[in-house]
Chain A
Amino acid sequence: MSHEPRIGVYVCHCGVNIAGVVDVKRVAAEMASEAGVVLSREYKFMCSTPGQEMIIDDIQSHGLNRVVVAACSPRMHEGTFQGACRKAGVNAYFFQMANIREHDSWVTLDKEEATRKAIALTRAAVRRVRNHEPLETRQVEVRKEVLVIGGGIAGIEAALTVAESGNHVYLVEREPTIGGHMARFDKTFPTLDCSACILTPKMNAVGSHPNITLMTSCEVEEVKGFVGNFDVKVKRKARYVDHDKCTGCGACVEKCPVKVPSEFDEGLSKRKAIYTPFPQAVPNKPVIDRAACTYFRTGKCRLCERFCEPKAIAFEQQESTQEIQVGAIIVATGFEFYRGEALSWYGHGRYPNVITALEFERLNNASGPTEGVLRMADGRVPQSVAILHCIGSRDKNYQEYCSRVCCMYSLKFAHLVKEKTGAEVFEFYIDMRSPGKGYEEFHDRIREEGAHLIRGKVGEVTDLAVNPEEQGRLIVVAEDTLAGSRLRVPVDMVVLSPGLSAHRDSKVAQLLKCAVDKNGFFIEKHPKLAPVDTATDGVFLAGCCQGPKDIPDTVAQSQAAAAKALALATRGVVEAEGRTACIDPEVCAGCKLCVSLCPYKAISFDTAKEISVVNEVLCKGCGTCAAACPSGAAQARHFKDVHIFNEIEGVLAL
């Protein structure tokens, strides 16, 4: 293969995306005079089939052995063009891309400047590709098992989809039960299906599926490895109940003397110190809340133990760690409702009849604290209810983004209030967002039912009455922006509809090396074309961890993530990185600096030859050994000093 470089350069117009700013003809003409360049062309869409075929034809008819494409980001189409090279018999690593779209035409105003920059970037690619070497990629087997993190509707759906295919799933959930937020909702919009009725069969299916290992009260602690071969450490919190022995009879719960606020019911009801979060929990076996348990606090009690016939109470239980091996990971860690200071501005925590959406869901739920009766703090049924949209949402002081679901769930609340109490409903919105199948029709239905929908964001909720009618009530102050009038609406109850927030306390993103956006939501690989992939190969996203979405979208995305994980498992192999490190045995002085620096323990010391040796199966190609090597023996393939130097010369040549 020791032949002179014969380079083909292709400058892409990308329609007007590049050609509208960069003089592509000039770029191509400039490249023609670079050493080793045999031909230099520009073309409308290089990534199109004719574009790729042009490369293949040129390779064959002009004997090209190097290819440079100046177009978009290599993160977009490097694989496409490498494929074309391979097809024509040229090693994929004899290809180099110059990013003149994302890094140039889209970010530069001045056309002359943009053209000069494009010439520089393309020249860098041309000079670099001359010194490229052919690299071989290896294939690595993919483990069939899939890890799903999070047991809400997203995780449940993903786990069931994978399990149904015959592959094994580990479903890790940090709470004592799966079900997530959906288990706490009363009805679901726009069909008004009972949330529990459609969810619990799926929860039970997870609990009993032979292909699913359900790991509740567990958290992922460490993730190592790479696509197809992840080694995961899962921490199992102490439950103090041996679930292998427990029959779920509930005698312990009955006898426990301690009552604390129930998280599941938003503190509106009490639970015991030993408890199952709710009657349909999966697994339907109790755990002990160490912080609340009298025995753990004082050393005395053990009532539950005394009444447990199968002897399942295990006060001595310790936190433990389990290691699992999987080929793919689906992140389904969900969301939390916004709980910030916007709530208190509207009187939450100050006025007992100002409640949040989640409190409203629990109050309406037949298995909730009031058995589904919508009551005020003093037990009366409200005669009028205000529902306030966008609490903390679309608000640069809190969360700038729209959470997509709040308009719809707030309309659902209007319906439930009307249906259960006949009360007047005043719903305050900024813009009504009901894009979805049957959503606008639902919006229409709520108007028909007589809810007063008022366009205006509420400024204040107060109990300062200015007339007898307002006395003893909550007054909602807003501008009806359509009528142009400032309103004071006295009501009995105020429901605050907060948006959805990312889990701020979650370490999952960090463990998986996934990026999160400024709001804390996971970033997908491409906002349109790779919505469930992440920048980490083999890690996929499902549900609200990626951004606020409703149940139908969550389920669809979960099934998509499962399909992606299964596609990987079905293919069975992945290409391993060809751009690994290598150490020149002639140059290596045996200082072992690289051995200690390698994060993957991929470099070992050959004591016989007294040199360091790279294990290419373990190497991920970060290049830190190359950067540190004092003798220059360690080199990062495809990112050798000479390549970087060529590139530096190129980018500075104009």
Chain B
Amino acid sequence: MTNDPKIVAFLCHWCSYTGADLAGTSRIKYTPAVRIVRVMCSGRIEPSFVLKALKEGADGVLICGCHPGDCHYQEGNYKALRRFHMLKEMLGQFGLEGDRVRLEWVSASEGDRFAKLADSFTEEIRRLGPLAWKRVGNESERRVA
């Protein structure tokens, strides 16, 4: 099982983290490949977090925030969305597949959805195979570090 992909999931505290908690209280099983890191708002997530995760061995990064209009901090999720587009472009420039990073809205009531999302994203990353940093070379290492 160690060949399995590793996924870091950044979840906002108010909606998505609560949704992941609900998956737990509902005992919905999903892949252990997904490891959750909590932030207060998806608007806190910087591209460097994602690059750091990929550098530390993650094969994919999942970002989850409140649904549009539901952000606890008014519109942090919209900011996350804008940064996400920028980030995808950046990944391309690094020679990485943009699909290794995904942004999804998960509400506090969507435990089931979160579990399904964790599984389907992991499946997608498994299809993409392990992250190949080699092509990227040392330059990005320096940038991330």
A residues with a Cβ closer than 8 A to B are: 73-75, 99, 101-104, 106-110, 112-114, 116-117, 120-121, 124, 510, 513, 515-518, 523, 535-536, 579, 597, 599, 620-624, 626-628, 636, 639, 641, 644-645, 647-649, 651-652
A-B contact sample (19 more), CB < 8 A, given A515-B107, A517-B109? A102-B20, A102-B24, A104-B32, A106-B25, A107-B27, A108-B32, A121-B36, A513-B71, A516-B109, A579-B40, A599-B74, A622-B41, A624-B73, A624-B79, A626-B44, A627-B43, A651-B36, A652-B35, A652-B58
Chain A residues whose C-beta falls within 8 Å of the C-beta of B32 in the assembled complex: 104, 107-108, 110, 113-114, 116-117
| A623 and B41 within 8 A (CB) | yes
Q: Closest chain A residue to B14 by CB distance? A: A535
Question: How close is B126's CB to chain A, nearest CB, in angstroms?
Answer: 15
B101 contacts chain A at the CB level, 8 A cutoff: no
Q: How large is the interface on B (under 10, 10 to 19, 20 to 34, 35 or more residues)?
A: 35 or more
| A651 and B35 within 8 A (CB) | yes
Q: Give the docked Cα–Cα distance between A628 and B37 (Å).
A: 19
Q: Please pick, from A597, A623, A644, the residue contacting B37 in the complex, using a CB distance under 8 A.
A: A644
B residues with a Cβ closer than 8 A to A are: 1, 6, 8, 14-15, 17-18, 20-21, 23-25, 27-30, 32, 35-41, 43-46, 48-49, 52-53, 56-58, 69-76, 79, 83, 107-110, 115
Question: How close is A452's CB to chain B, nearest CB, in angstroms?
Answer: 40
| B24 and A621 within 8 A (CB) | no
| A121 and B44 within 8 A (CB) | no
| A644 and B24 within 8 A (CB) | no
Q: Say whether, besides A109-B29, A113-B1, A515-B15, A623 and B56 are in contact (CB < 8 Å).
A: no
- For the complex of A and B, the 7 pairs showing the least CB-CB separation, nearest first, are A102-B24, A623-B44, A622-B73, A651-B35, A624-B43, A106-B24, A622-B41
| A73 and B46 within 8 A (CB) | no
Most chain B CB inside 10 Å of its own CB: which residue of A101, A103, A510, A626: A103
| B18 and A75 within 8 A (CB) | yes
Chain A residues whose C-beta falls within 8 Å of the C-beta of B27 in the assembled complex: 106-107
Q: Say whether, besides A117-B35, A626-B44, A652 and B56 are in contact (CB < 8 Å).
A: yes
> Can you list 8 residue pairs at the A/B interface with Cβ under 8 Å?
A73-B17, A107-B30, A515-B70, A579-B40, A622-B41, A623-B43, A641-B46, A648-B53
Most chain A CB inside 10 Å of its own CB: which residue of B8, B69, B74: B74
Question: How close is A532's CB to chain B, nearest CB, in angstroms?
Answer: 17
Q: Give the docked Cα–Cα distance between A516 and B109 (Å).
A: 7
Q: Give the docked Cα–Cα distance between A516 and B70 (Å).
A: 10
Q: Say whether, besides A104-B32, A107-B30, A513 and B8 are in contact (CB < 8 Å).
A: no
Q: Give the docked Cα–Cα distance between A116 and B31 (Å).
A: 12
Q: Give the docked Cα–Cα distance between A99 and B18 (Å).
A: 12
Q: Closest chain B residue to A121 by CB distance? A: B35
Q: Please pick, from B29, B58, B109, the residue contacting A107 in the complex, using a CB distance under 8 A.
A: B29
Question: How close is A170's CB to chain B, nearest CB, in angstroms?
Answer: 23
Chain A residues whose C-beta falls within 8 Å of the C-beta of B44 in the assembled complex: 622-624, 626-627, 636, 639
Q: Give the docked Cα–Cα distance between A480 and B57 (Å).
A: 62
| A644 and B40 within 8 A (CB) | no
Question: How close is A517's CB to chain B, nearest CB, in angstroms?
Answer: 5
| A99 and B36 within 8 A (CB) | yes
Q: Give the docked Cα–Cα distance between A109 and B27 (Å).
A: 10
Q: Say whether, besides A515-B109, A523-B108, A648-B37, A597 and B79 are in contact (CB < 8 Å).
A: yes
Chain B residues whose C-beta falls within 8 Å of the C-beta of A579 in the assembled complex: 40
| A535 and B108 within 8 A (CB) | yes
Q: Closest chain A residue to B4 by CB distance? A: A113
| A103 and B109 within 8 A (CB) | no
Chain B residues whose C-beta falls within 8 Å of the C-beta of A652 in the assembled complex: 6, 8, 35, 53, 56-58
Most chain B CB inside 10 Å of its own CB: which residue of A101, A513, A622, A641: A622
| B37 and A103 within 8 A (CB) | no
Q: Please pick, from A104, A622, A641, A644, the residue contacting B76 in the complex, using a CB distance under 8 A.
A: A622
Question: How close is A126's CB to chain B, nearest CB, in angstroms?
Answer: 14
Question: How close is A652's CB to chain B, nearest CB, in angstroms?
Answer: 4
Q: Please pick, from A620, A628, A644, A645, the residue contacting B39 in the complex, using a CB distance under 8 A.
A: A644
Chain A residues whose C-beta falls within 8 Å of the C-beta of B76 in the assembled complex: 599, 622, 624
Q: Give the docked Cα–Cα distance between A160 and B126 (Å).
A: 59
Q: Closest chain B residue to A510 by CB distance? A: B69
